[in-house]
Structure 1
């Protein structure tokens, strides 16, 4: 309906609601609803000649404006995710020392076997939902295969799975195969350039987070305290909202030509991060980071990182 109304408005810009209704055969109420949808897509605007009438804008202009609005919304959400991540990391760090093996609200898990045992217990007890964040470029194929039996059993009981990876896993066959295995069984998988710390949340009441996000080998913290679990759930939901479904193709900014990952890389490097640190944050190898920067410098016609920074800032890329 909205498409028919839009095409007619492009052909007959002088038509009002009543005439659009007559020409399309829709009711006036339906036409007004279609105009609301078109306004949300920024394809119609108030006429400067008659403020009581709407005019159609070209698809190219409307799409560019819509992309800019979405980019601004995405940037705001990503900033919120970063702030929430920092707050949750501080909260978990402050409370980690308070948890003892016999604590009613959680416990420290030292060693991979202890963590795996807890994951298995949570998987068997799950009734509604299991969400997870997995930073880094990839997971080992054997680790992914080991978890499938438990995941399959939970999925068969109707437990909803949502998994968040970094964009870099799109180049890892083992992780992609596992992601498609999940999606084939009703799970959802999304990716983002930067994701929060590694975590698993079951039924919004139990969570596992690393004791040290920088070194997950130090162990994990099993949390059931409602305040901390709620903060972790909120962090996950914010990150999930900014991520892209695995099957979707990431688009480049129509104004800058930058991908989300390239924009994040520029932001990280401009903040003073080294190539190595930025690569760790984005889940990319040092070689990939340097290749991306070389591509950006070429587009900016810059002969040095310093010149590239100046030109990127001047163009509003930072």
Structure 2
């Protein structure tokens, strides 16, 4: 790491600029008296004393055994303490800003407070969505239908799932028909822990973040893109109710088989894709099969279950737990 970068990172962790300089110098020289530090860094004596005291307080420096001078120590424990302090400060700042905004909102004229809606347009839409999503604490609920603002890959969701954020997503059937969307977005997210369901169609493209807010998107080029953010209130409750209704009536999309499933994983995925309602051609493409091989597997499953049509096959598969 470059020296300038190290200094920046130490300040970012919460050390004062002069304290960071003293800490860096101690790492280079291993030991120095306060007078030597003042001379080397062109600092006043009281400034050096304050920096040394701060470093000792955080466990980043210690008095030398001989009583002469100060030395840097292994930083892990001290850095952990700084990180925790920084996290507490950031949370306190978040609470203070939220409270200030709420106080302002309550004291504002009625015309300013009656609408719990924020509208963002144009180039700022994607940035605002990223800012909102980065603040998720517990879970995201989403109604997903084309067209989309972002590409198929969804690295942010996979990162969130990895740190314990829950995702429940209802996809419209035409999402799964989009080239690459099932393979590059849906399957990786489901395999990472997303709970997914499929509906024939959805009325909006909507995301609910925790229980705090929701946003609806209208993709477009340039100034035509539009983002509507809905904050706490009756409208947000209605949107959450819309999601709950869509979730309750959608078909589960379980693309990862459990160890107890009495069916080959490839056949189970075939059944799940068909049950979601996507076309035979799209299902075959997703499975990497030719149409001929796809239909041969379908016939084999019907023979295995003693069924004569897809409706019977779906009913038997559900009854045997192959789709859950």
What is the TM-score with the length of structure 1 in the denominator? 0.41
What is the TM-score with the length of structure 2 in the denominator? 0.40
Higher relative contact order (CA 8 A, sep 6+): 1
